[in-house]
Structure 1
Amino acid sequence: MEETILKIKHILAATAALSLLVVAAGCSSKTTHADKTSSKTLTVVFLPSESSKEMTPVRTALSKVLHKATGKKINVQTTTDYNVAIQALASGKAQLGLLGPDSYIEARKQNSAVNPLVTYSGESGTLKDAHYNSYVMVPKAKADSYKDGGSYSLKKVKGQKISFVSATSTSGFAVPAGAIAAANGVKKTDLQQGGGFFDKVLYGQSHPGSAVNLFNGDVDVAAFDDIDLVNYGKFTNDATKAGAIFKINDDAPAPLDKAKGKESVAISVAQVQNEPLAINDKTVSKADRAKIIKALTAQSTTDNPIFFSKPDAKKPGLFTQTGKVHFMAISDKWYAPTHEVLGK
C-alpha cells in the first residue's frame, strides 16, 4: 500500500513539474515575441541609391524623425546590393526599409509581414499622380541611330551593350527590361546576361552607377530613373516622353563628377509607382507603427527641405517639392498595378 502511495506521489510530482515547464515555455514564447516589437532600437535599411555619401543628410533626418516619434535608438544600414536590403527587411534584421516598388514586393514575397507604410504623393497631393519615370537612355550624339521612321525604337538596342541598375530594381530593370522584351518578342530573363540578345550586360548597383556606365562609354544604352538622379542633373525638355534630354550638372558630385555637362536622350519612358518606406509588421508594435505614420505625414516633415526640396534648391532633398507633395499612408492594395506588371 505504501509503495502504491509513493508511486502516486512521484507521478503527481512529475506532472506538476511538467506543468511548470509548459507554463514557463509559454511565458518564454510570449516574452520572445514581445521582444521583437518592444526592442529599444529600430534598424532602417536603405537601397544602394540612398546609401551614398550624398544621401547622408536624408538618412540622418529620417533617423531623427523616427527617434522623436518612438523614443528608440535608430540604427542605419546602408547597402551596395539590392538583395541585401530586401533580405534584411524580410528576415526582420531591419524593421524598416526605404525600398523601390520591386524591392518592396520581393521582400513581401519572402515574408507577408512586410507591408508599405507610407509613400509620397504626386503634385496633386493625392495618390492619383504618385509616380516617377523610368528611362532607357542613350548618348545624345547617337540618339538618332535609335530611330525607325522618325520615332525611337527599342528594337535598335539588340546586340548592344547595356547597363541596368540591379536585377531587383523596378525602374532600373523590371520596367525597362519588360519594355525591351515586349518590343522584341523575347523574355525578360533573356536580357539579364550578355552573349545573347545583348552583347554585354552590366549592373550599376545604383541609378547613378548605371548612368556612370553610360557616360563613361562602357555601354551603349543604360536604364535609370529620374528621382535618383536629381542630385546630379536635370531634364532640359519634357521629361515624360521619348526624346527627353538629361544633362549632368556642372557641379555634379561623385560618382558623376567626371560626366559634367554630358547629355543623354531617352528612347523609352515608363511610369513607375512611387516607392514606399516599408515595415516588417512582426518586428514593430502597432503603437510605434502609428507613431511613425503620424510623424512622417506631419506638416513639419512636409516642410523639411531635406525630405522635400524646392526644384531650384542648391542641395536637393530626398524628393522634389512640387505642388502639394507629401507623405501618405498606404497599404499593399495600392501596389496592385505593380504586382501585376512584375507578376508577383
Structure 2
Amino acid sequence: MKKLKRILLGVVVMLVAVVTAACANKSTGANSKDYTPKSLTVEFVPSIAANKLEGRAKPLEKMLSAKLGIPVHVLVSTSDNALMEAMKSKKVDVGFLPPDGYVVAHKQGAADVLLQSERFDIKQPGGRWTKTLTKSFRAEIVAKKNSKIKSWKDLKGKSISIQSPTSTAGYIYPIAELKEKGLDVPKSCKLVTVTGHDQAVLNVLNGDTDAAFVFEDARNKVLKDYPKIMSQVVPIYFTKARIPNDTVSVIPNMSKKFQKKLAQAFIDISKTKKGHALIEQVYAHEGYVPAKDSDFDTVRKYEKIVKDMQNN
C-alpha cells in the first residue's frame, strides 16, 4: 500500500512538473526576442456591441488559421486601454488599434504597427463616397447651413459637440489646428461631449450645439434617417492634416519573418469575397496596406499641442 502511494505521488509530481514546464515554455516563447507564435491571439476594440462584434469577427479565426497553419483565437476587448495592457503583458499577439491608441501603445513598448486599414475616400462638396481607397482621412467641423457660422473664425463663444479628448477627428486634430490658427477652443468655446459622431451631427441639426467636430463625412451615418442632412448641416472647415486609419498592430518581439507572413495573410484575406465582406462588416475596412511608425508622427505632433494647451 505504501509502495502504491509512493508511485502515485511520483506520478503527480511528474505531471505538475510537465505542466509547469509547458507554461514556462509558453511564457518564454511569448517573451523571446524573436517570437514566432505557435498559436495566435487577435483582439478587436468594440466599435459596436461587443457580443455582436465578436460574432462577426469569429470567422476570421478559420481564415487566418488556414493562411498561417496555426490555431487562431479572435477576442473582443473591453477598451483600447485593456487591449494595450493585454499586448504589453504578451497575452495578445495582434491588436486592431485606432491611431491614437497605437501611438500610446507604441510609446509604452506594447505594439508595433504592421498594417493600416483602407477605406473609401470622400468627395466634396456633397460628402459622397468615392471608389478611391485611402489609408487616411480628414476631420471636419460642421454647422447648420442657415447659421452665422461660415468659417472657423466664427466659432468663438459658440457651443461645439466633441468626442472624448482621445478622439483624433472628434477632438485632437480640430483643436490642434485651430490653436495654430490662433483660436484656443477649450477656452473660447463651450464644449459638449457626446458619444458618437452621428450624435454630434444630430446635435447640430437639432440646435443643441452650434457646431460639431466629426470625421469626414459623418453626415453619411444619419443620411438614411435624415435624407436632407447634406443640405441642412454643412462643413465649414476641413483639417489640413489627414488622420491615419486604424492599425493592425503586433507585439514588438514578434519575429520579422512571421510579421511578413501575417501581413500577407491579412492582405490576401481582404481580397477574397468572404474575407472582404467580413472586414467590411466588422470595421468598415476595405483592405490593408503596409504601414510604418512615422505615418503617425502627425498624431504625436497634434497630441502634444493639445497636451501643452491643457498644461497651460
TM-score normalised per structure 1: 0.61
Aligned mates of 2:288, 2:149 — CA distance in 1: 38
Structure 2 partner of 1:136? 141
Which residue of structure 2 aligns with residue 249 of structure 1? 224
Matching of residue 336 in structure 1 with residue 294 in structure 2:
no
Whether 2:195 is the aligned partner of 1:198: answer: no
Give the 3 Å change call, closer, same or farther, for CA 65–26 of structure 1 in structure 2.
Answer: closer
Counterpart in 1 of 2:245?
A: 274
Give 1:77 shift.
1.4
Q: Is the 8 A contact 2:138 2:238 kept in 1?
A: yes
The Cα shift of 1:97 comes to 2.3
Deviation by residue 1:59-113 (Cα, 9 ceiling, x = unmatched)? 345444334334324232144x5444444444544432222222211211222x4
- Aligned pairs (5 A) from 1:302-317: 302-304=271-273, 305-306=276-277
Q: Which residue of 2 aligns with 1:106?
A: 104
- Over 3 Å counting, the alpha-carbon distance change for 1:168 and 1:91 in structure 2 is farther
> Structure 1 residues 278, 140: closer, same or farther in 2, change over 3 A?
farther
2:66 match: secondary structure:
helix
1:146 maps onto 2:121 in alignment:
no
Structure 2 alignment gaps of length 5 or more: 1-19, 122-132, 306-312
Deviation at 1:116, TM superposition (A): 0.9
Task: Answer whether contact 2:165 2:171 (CA < 8 A) is retained.
Answer: yes
Match of 2:261 in 1: 291
Give the percent of matched residue pairs that are identical in Structure 1 and Structure 2.
19
CA deviations 1:206-252 (Å, max 9, x no partner) are 4345445444544322222137775x25xxxxxxxxxxxxxx124xx
User: 1:52–1:223: structure 2 CA closer, same or farther, 3 Å change rule?
Assistant: farther
**Equivalent residue letter for 1:130:** K
1:207 aligned to 2:197?
yes
- Residues 268-300 of structure 1, C-alpha deviation per residue, up to 9 Å, x if partnerless? 112222332112234x555543332111122x5
Q: After superposition, what is the alpha-carbon deviation per residue over 1:41-76, rounded to whole angstroms, capped at 9, x for unaligned?
A: 503122x53657886676345444334334324232
Q: Is the 8 A contact 2:97 2:246 kept in 1?
A: yes
Q: 1:68 aligns with which of 66, 69, 86?
A: 66
1:176 aligns with 2:145: no
Decide whether the 8 Å contact of 1:172 with 1:224 is kept in 2: yes
Pair 1:207–1:159, CA change in 2 (3 A)? same
CA distance 1:220–1:286, shift in 2 (3 Å): same
CA contact (8 A) 1:302 1:308 kept: no
- Greater helix proportion: 2
Greater radius of gyration (CA):
1
Would you say 1:32 and 2:16 are equivalent positions? no
Calculate the TM-score normalised by the size of structure 2: 0.67
RMSD, aligned α-carbons: 3.9
Cα distance in 1 between the residues matched to 2:53 and 2:261: 24
What stretches of structure 1 of length at least 5 have no aligned partner? 1-24, 234-247, 251-258, 310-314, 321-325
